[in-house]
Structure 1
Amino acid sequence: MIRGIRGAITIHVDNESQIIDSTEKLIRTMIAKNDIEAANVASVFISATSDIQTGFPAKALRKFPGWTYVPVMCMQEMDVEESLARCVRVMIHYNTNKSQEDIHHVYLEEAIKLRPDLIKHKTSN
């Protein structure tokens, strides 16, 4: 069965190194908390808010050994008034037998504001 594993992180400054470093931190945490193996990943969607313009967050995924052939798509997040600024969101589509309740979604930095209901139940930092 394919499960979606969500994650999000905010960046302090819009520059390529911060985008890639922050995205790498987020994905590493998602992998660790969910015991993700690249061979079981169907695809990864990564979105960024419109104020992130100096680099592709998806480049961070290419730093991980074994992830070369994982399909990744980078897209722009909806531009909604008063939404969280400089935010990268990740959705990993993962083949697993885990139940929805056993999936650990990860929200770092200011992104913890996006899903406080999940933070109360699971540690995300």
Structure 2
Amino acid sequence: MTFGGCGVDWRLWAIRGAVTVSENTEDAMREAVTELVDALEERNHLDPTCIISATFSVTRDLDAVFPAAIARQRPHWDNVALLDVQHMHVEGSLPYCIRILMHVQLPVLHAKVQHVYLRGARDLRPDLVVTG
């Protein structure tokens, strides 16, 4: 797709991330969701107007607040389609975890997307953890 006649080709990208929460409270979840989304925007140089949708999944031990309600309060996220779901429970899986799957429209020549795994969620995908 060429955008606005300026000759830029665009592509739909899927970006993933996850973060763990210290406790099941609204404050702890707000801090974690904000940290995760800030990192995703920063590391991928995202303009929120290019974010099409974001699905948050939470482990069954988190129910203090909807992560989408937190994200909805961010500047320029008013047109992002947001959804919350409960992550499938598997015995022994990482507790107190919030995951995100974002769909974004970016130029084809955009640098490779960076998936973000923070705090205890680093153990989910150590191959994707960015250090430094």
TM-score (structure 2 length as normaliser): 0.86
Unaligned runs of 5+ in 2: 1-10
The whole-number CA distance in structure 2 between the counterparts of 1:50 and 1:84 is: 11
Residue number among 12, 30, 37 corresponding to 1:2 in the alignment? 12
Q: Are positions 1:29 and 2:13 aligned together?
A: no
The whole-number CA distance in structure 2 between the counterparts of 1:50 and 1:99 is: 39
Assess, with a 3 A threshold, how the Cα gap between structure 1 residues 99 and 52 changes in structure 2: closer, same or farther: farther
Residue number among 49, 64, 72 corresponding to 1:62 in the alignment? 72
Larger Rg, first or second structure (1 or 2): 2
Task: Give the residue type in structure 2 aligned to 1:56.
Answer: F
- C-alpha RMSD of the superposition: 1.7
Task: Give the match's secondary structure for 2:33.
Answer: helix
After TM superposition, the runs of 4+ consecutive aligned structure 1 residues lying more than 6 A away are none
Which structure has more helix as a fraction of its residues? Answer: 1
Unaligned runs of 5+ in 1: none
The answer (yes or no) to whether the contact 1:21–1:60 under 8 Å persists in 2 is no
- Count of residue pairs the alignment pairs up: 122
TM-score (structure 1 length as normaliser): 0.90
The whole-number CA distance in structure 2 between the counterparts of 1:76 and 1:100 is: 32
Identity of aligned residues (%): 32
